[in-house]
Structure 1
Amino acid sequence: MPDLDLAHVLSYGIPLSFLAGLIDAIAGGGGVITLPTLLFMGLSPGQVVATNKLLAIFGSASSTYQYLRKGKIELNLVWRLALVALVGSALGAQLVLGFKNQEAFRLIIAGLIVVVGILVVANKKMGLENNYEGLNRRTLLVGGLGALLIGMYDGFFGPGTGTFLMFLFVRFLKFDFVVGSGNARFINFITNLGAFITFLISGQMVWAIGLAMGVANALGSTLGARLAILKGSTFVKVIYLLIVLLVVARLIFVHN
């Protein structure tokens, strides 16, 4: 563990982790807050990534539970897509070993997320009604391909994964933003769990920080999920667009 006064974790790590959990449960993007926070504490890059997965397990589990208990997750679909995303994540982790120009990749992803935001703004009705077609051939093909590609991106690079998952469910699978958020949180929980097991073996997790921030993240996620369900798709859509801006800013200006 780095030479860090635990009071630092309590003074800024806890409230920032709570805030990250809150926004992540609504629209994804919590890592935009937690990753820079962990870096500011003086952790090494490996410790940052591993510890972030530890605390993310708490948040994604609690938000998934809230959406699940209110029937806002399409379980028959997301179980299948989560398994595909796990395979993609493993492939992406292998690909990153041979990739050299991460700066160019960062800018490409930022550009794609800007396009996602523009499409959401341009289509005022997108995600306000649930027009999911059911578990048909198109759903499995489009959802499976999307989950595989997003899973690969998550294993390869990471920032903005929740943003892309939300877009997949709302734009291509025609869910409203509330159910889309619930579906995305479920898949994020499964992929976080897979990454957590991998990083557990590496021995780089800073348990004292990860557990303390994880509890705060879970509390924020619980509140965020309840707000999303209570306020509805219009509210989630607005928060989603704000998260798009935050993710783009992180990709462009924060290089760790």
Structure 2
Amino acid sequence: MPLEQVLLLLTAAAGAGWIDAVVGGGGLLQLPAILVTGMPPVEAMATNKLSSVFGTTSAAVAYARSTKVDRQVAIPGAAMAMVSAGLGAWAAASISAEVLRPAVMVVLVAVAVFVTLRPGMGAVPVPHLRTPSRVVAAVAAAGVGIAFYDGIMGPGTGTFLIIAFTTILGLDFVSASASAKIINIGTNVGALAVFAVQGHVQWALGLGMAVCNVAGAQFGARTALKRGTAFVRIVLLVVVVAMVIRLGWQQFA
């Protein structure tokens, strides 16, 4: 691989780590950067997972040291997510992204409208929303539905997790982001394990990108913790709009 492509991927990995640590959606930057090199889509997704699992874990540790993680949701959700994401990764080679992309775009547009029209969402925690039934719903949504999507496609998983935790459990954006990182570790590990068994991972490239992803994730987590929920909300909207534009370009170009 030419040196300029390697440098591009390392830069993209650092930027993706920052985005993922703040609001998720780093795959929006990292995965297309890998695909530009001409790597087959499944190998690109596999290598993206290898890089991302290190950055996500690094960000999760940074959050856990400074803010509350909803362990009752995050731990069982992460365990379920490993299985669901693994199933998604197994199906990735047989289900076309062309089938999923329009549905994901609709969901993202709905998310952008919802967050815009509800400026108070995620600004402060809403403890009374956290009932036993909602905890079960959050675990199922994160550990099954969103995790499967991460295995089969990926970009925006962290964003979907944050939205699920703020709307279902009433968490503020920073706490939701912290809890989402634990689930995201599970999805990345589950998908990566399947991709590795199938022989799709480019190990040398993925590990090199992982170093930059970790650096970006550390900076992103510290930025989110320092700037607070208002900052996370703004970045969330920017990332969601960018994902809609990117997916729309892929769909109609």
CA contact (8 A) 2:67 2:178 kept: no
SS in 1 for 2:39: coil
1:57–1:192: 8 Å Cα contact kept in structure 2? yes
Counterpart of 2:164 (choices 161, 165, 168) is 168
Counterpart selection for 2:126 from 105, 108, 131:
131
Contact 2:26 2:156 in 1 (8 A): no
Q: Deviations over 1:110-157 (max 9, x none)?
A: 011110111111011100001245874223222123122212222333
Question: In the aligned structure 2, how far is the partner of 1:92 from the partner of 1:207?
Answer: 21
Equivalent position SS for 2:108: helix
1:81 lines up with 2:77 in the alignment: yes
Change (3 A) 1:123 1:134: closer
Whether the 8 Å CA contact 1:89–1:153 is kept in 2: the answer is: yes
CA contact (8 A) 2:88 2:152 kept: yes
**May I ask how many residue pairs the two structures share in their alignment?**
250
CA-to-aligned-CA distance 1:141-198 (integer Å, 9 cap, x gap): 2212312221222233323222211110111110000011111111111110111222
Shift of 1:99: 4.8
Query: Which of 4, 13, 16 is the equivalent residue of 1:20?
Result: 16
Alignment partner of 2:199 out of 196, 203, 227: 203
CA contact (8 A) 1:21 1:219 kept: yes
**Cα gap change, 1:109 to 1:37, in 2 (>3 Å):** same
Gaps of 5+ in 1: none
Unmatched 5+ stretches in structure 2: none
Q: In the alignment, what sits opposite 1:187?
A: 183
> Match for 1:145 among 131, 140, 143?
140
Give me the whole-angstrom Cα distance separating, in 2, the residues matched to 1:96 and 1:13.
23
More off after superposition, 210-219 vs 82-91 = 82-91
2:133 partner letter = R
Q: Using structure 2 for the length normalisation, give the TM-score.
A: 0.91
Aligned-partner Cα distance in 1 for 2:129–2:168:
13
The answer for the alignment partner of 1:8 in structure 2 is: 5
SS of the residue corresponding to residue 66 of structure 1 reads helix
Partner of 2:208: 212
Normalising by structure 1, what TM-score?
A: 0.90
Q: CA–CA distance in 1 between the matches of 2:88 and 2:15?
A: 29
Equivalent position of 1:120 in the other structure:
115
1: CA distance, partners of 2:237 / 2:162: 11
